[in-house]
Amino acid sequence: MAGSSLPEDEPTDEVGGAVDDMATLGALLGDTYRGELDRETTWRSRLDQTTTWSVTVMAAILTWAFSSGDNPHYIILIGVLAVGTFLSIEARRYRDYDVYRARVRLIQGNLLANTLNPETGVEHENWRAKLSEDYQRPTLKVTTFEALSNRLRRIYLPLLTVLVLAWVFRITAFVPAEEWLTTASIAAVPGWIIVGMLAVCYSGAVAIAYWPRDREAMGEFREGETGEWKTNE
């Protein structure tokens, strides 16, 4: 009826209030998990897109560089710069991807794993508080250095290695009649400077990839002993 109001003592549901009912909480966490998993998958596909572009550009450059002896060798160095640019983009995307991956792993390790086997307990006693705090104040979980290191080890260091070896082959065996340092020169820049700059850049990439440090990204697959849960007794 128009103008009527609810009695003051009648309870009303408060949007965003504490949830004490376990069924409601379970449904909420289920929806949350599916949402975070979808966002993780989306960012994972963005990482794959960057990698695909890197491989495509590298293949096109190498094909053109070796299609004729008249083509300049420095096109391969342009490929190195292009792959380095894709690396920086993918490292930034990886930091965003890791936010959602970390949330998914938090729910998997503390809710799903404990539900399947309560005897194992939970990894974090206050995991719900941690998840709540991350929703209230989202933060990146890994540094730019670790993101670069991860993408270099997984994908980009092998790509850079192929480009460097291709460039060395291009200025040596591909032009055997000319001294390789002379071939390596670009315009007025001597070949030894080009070689030195490339060596420094590649050494820096190797150092970033394998510099010893504490890993901040938790819950990822790492090389080690394989699990035995699928083996036949």
What DSSP line would sit under 100-122, residue for residue? HHHHHHHHIIIIIHHHH-GGG--
CA distance 197 to 194: 5
In sequence order, what are the residues at sequence separation of 6 or more whose Cβ sits closer than 8 angstroms to the Cβ of residue 1?
none
State pLDDT tens for residues 184-211. 888 888 989 999 999 999 999 999 999 8
State pLDDT tens for residues 75-98. 999 999 999 999 999 999 999 999
Instruction: Give yes or no for residue 35 having a pLDDT over 50.
Output: yes
Instruction: Give yes or no for residue 173 having a pLDDT over 70.
Output: yes
Question: Taking the complete model, does pTM exceed 0.85, yes or no?
Answer: no
CA distance 90 to 86: 6
Most confident residue range from 48-52, 170-174, 176-180, 223-227 = 48-52
Angle, CA 169 vertex, CA 163 and CA 171 arms, to 5°? 105
Nearest-10 crossing angle of helices 22-65, 157-171? 0
